[in-house]
Amino acid sequence: MFQVPRGTRDFTPEEMQKRRYLEHTMATTFTSFGYGEIQTPTFENQELFTAKSGESIINELYAFNDKGGRALALRPELTAPVIRCYVERLQMEPKPLKLYYFGNCYRYDRPQKGRYREFQQAGCELIGTDTHEATAELLALAYTILKNTGLKDIHLNIGNLTIISAIFRKLHLLKDDQKMILPLIDKSQFDDLQIALRDCNVSEEMITTFLDVLQTSDITKIRAFIGDDAEANTELSSLETILDLLRDAFHIPDYVIKLSIVRGLDYYKGLVFEIDAPALGAEKQLCGGGSYDLISLFGGTAVPTSGFAIGFDRTLLALEEEGFQFPTPKLDVFVIPVNPTMNNTVIQITQKLRSLGISADFDQLRRGIGKSLKYADAKHAEKVIIVGPKELENNTVTIRNMKTGAQEVVTLNDIYTKLQKS
């Protein structure tokens, strides 16, 4: 009769088990890199997002007025909320400040596989440093998190907006023309880009070289094209140093320079990057990030900032696509009374097991042993304790190993030493 709203999903215990596993792996990697967790509200003042992305963003938001007439919006991402919180409360913290988060995001998107209206992001912001080693570490962290989840095939592509801006200057592109062609670069629509550049009176020779430079990973070619633009040359040298560190110190050699990674010029600047999982097809982008400037826009004292956001749901889809074996949910022990008069003992055994940190459950439907064993199997119980009247007279129970079928009779007192994580 009722269905989940379009673009949203329920998660069953089996699915939640996978999500929690993934969350745990990601959180462990964030903390191993010295990051601390932060949480912000699910909704924010609408202005936070329009200040960052312009009024047109409202079309993509779940935006509403509350009963007090405040214009609010469900967050579409977490960078703006985290930077708002930094400006409000954390500016005096020792630098660099390393913050990570998990959070639900909401976008009025066209739902399809890998694209939802409610989805989860895992991400981080690095505040107060833009040294080469800090930037190299940020790239290493994004890559390592995804690798540590168990993903095998991921591609790290690195671009740079300062270099793209220099190239735009060289092509004599006006600001409006730049705005028009950026989405074409972003979506790698190179045929349309060629037509658009012709319309902007860029020479055929320049267009050919530009398209080549956008798709090459050869730094020499890029350097030759930017010529003597001082800013772009400095940025390119920095990029080389960062990538040397990434390869030689962080031991991550699998990256590609791709200037067609642009991520929109609105608040990103300098280095930008994306990580893809080809297994996902159309919606293959797992992670996007780079350096950006939002602090001054939000009224704080400007310090360098960078970060990235990983699509949590897509990471899970990519793992499933690659056939990753998630740990199965399991119950350590299921306790079965042969008849309800055993219930008191059964409950006491179960409770004692629980207090020892052993997951335990007992039959609550008064089923026969056969059916109870079936249920225990469905719950992936590793062991079953059968409490029968005859055994109980001798202060014993039967412990059954569900994998091997082996059974042994043990005294009530010995149950716990027997089952304590053997």
- Closest residue to ligand AMP, Cβ-based? 311
Cα–Cα distances (Å) from 86 to 71, 82, 97, in that order, read 22, 6, 9
* Cα-Cα end-to-end distance for the chain: 48
Run of H or E residues at 362 = strand 360-362
116 or 334, CB closer to ligand AMP? Answer: 116
R_g of the chain, CA atoms, integer Å: 28
Beta bridge partners of 387: 337
115 or 247, CB closer to ligand AMP? Answer: 115
Cβ neighbors of 26 (< 8 A, separation 6 or more) are 102, 122, 145, 148, 149, 310, 312
Q: Does 285 bind ligand AMP (CB under 6 A)?
A: yes
Contact window for ligand AMP (CB under 6 A) among 17-25, 40-48, 296-304, 308-316 = 308-316
Q: Nearest approach, Cβ of 412 to ligand AMP (angstroms)?
A: 52
Cβ(306)–Cβ(161) below 8 Å? no
Among candidate residues 204, 205, 167, the one with its CA nearest the CA of residue 185 = 167
Contact window for ligand AMP (CB under 6 A) among 112-120, 184-192, 199-207, 358-366 = 112-120
Q: Residues 26, 286, 338, 346: which binds ligand AMP (CB under 6 A)?
A: 286
Q: Does 309 bind ligand AMP (CB under 6 A)?
A: yes
Q: Does 258 bind ligand AMP (CB under 6 A)?
A: no
Cα–Cα distances (Å) from 338 to 45, 347, 373, 387, 400, in that order, read 60, 13, 11, 6, 14
Q: Residues 19, 115, 147, 155: which binds ligand AMP (CB under 6 A)?
A: 115
Q: Does 116 bind ligand AMP (CB under 6 A)?
A: yes
54 or 368, CB closer to ligand AMP? Answer: 54
Kind of pairing between the strands at 97-106 and 36-37: parallel
Among candidate residues 287, 281, 301, 376, the one with its CA nearest the CA of residue 331 = 376
Q: Nearest approach, Cβ of 346 to ligand AMP (angstroms)?
A: 45
Binding positions for ligand AMP, 121-140, rule CB under 6 A: 121
Binding positions for ligand AMP, 346-385, rule CB under 6 A: none
Q: Nearest approach, Cβ of 385 to ligand AMP (angstroms)?
A: 44
Per CB under 6 A, residues contacting ligand AMP are 77, 107, 109, 114-116, 119, 121, 285-288, 309, 311, 313-314
